[in-house]
Amino acid sequence: MCQNSRGFTLIELMIVVAIVGVLAAMAIPVYQDYVARSQVHRAYAELAAYKTSVEERLSKGQYVISNADLGYVASSVTVAASGDIASFLSDGSGSLQVTIGGSVSSTVSGAQVSILRSVSGVWSCDIDESGAGAWKSFYMPRGCF
């Protein structure tokens, strides 16, 4: 009697399920880190988009800049830290600041993103991660400290 085997045995299927489970256990945390990183980068990019509008107003001598002047609208990853996101002095120095919040990962929620302008007009980035849940240096955009 010749017996042809067709399909997979139960042991073979269990091995495949175990391998997929191990791969998923390694991949899910890495994926979540990349999601959190992309949310931080998105918050920074949204805030950086207002630099041009700020420069325009500062060149006209307007140092009190409201959210309405900038056209700021809170997104799903940013909220205004307190009141207006722009705060500038008469010498042109100041900052744009938002808090990462809304529908973001709990590891980055609460971090404050600031883009600072010096008197000479040089912009720099600062992220205060003390309010975030489990911040990793991996989340930091290039050029920020």
Q: What is the pLDDT of residues 89-102, one digit of tens each?
A: 999 999 999 999 98
Residue 2 has a pLDDT of 62
**73 in a domain, yes or no?**
yes
Closest among 49, 42, 46, 52 to 121, alpha carbons compared: 52
Q: Place 18 in a pLDDT band, splitting at 50, 70 and 90.
A: very high
- Determine how many CB atoms are found less than 10 A away from the CB of residue 30: 9
Residue identified by tokens 């042809």 is 4
Residue 20 has a pLDDT of 96
**99 in a domain, yes or no?**
yes
Q: What is the pLDDT of residues 41-72, one digit of tens each?
A: 999 999 999 999 999 999 999 999 999 999 88
Residue 6 has a pLDDT of 77
Residue 138 has which token pair?
């991996």
* Sign of the C-alpha dihedral computed for residues 65, 69, 71 and 73 taken in this order: positive
- Whether residue 3 is predicted with pLDDT greater than 60 in this model: the reply is yes
**E strand or H helix at 27:** helix 10-48
**2 in a domain, yes or no?**
no
Residue 131 has a pLDDT of 87
Residue 5 has a pLDDT of 67
Distance CA 41, CA 5 (A): 54
Give the number of residues written for the chain. 145
**4 in a domain, yes or no?**
no
**144 in a domain, yes or no?**
no
Contact criterion met (CB below 8 Å) for 65 and 52: no
Residue 60 has a pLDDT of 92
**5 in a domain, yes or no?**
no
Q: Identify the CATH number of the domain in which residue 84 sits.
A: 3.30.700.10
What is the average pLDDT score of the chain? 90
Range of the domain at 97: 10-139
- The total domain count for the chain is 1
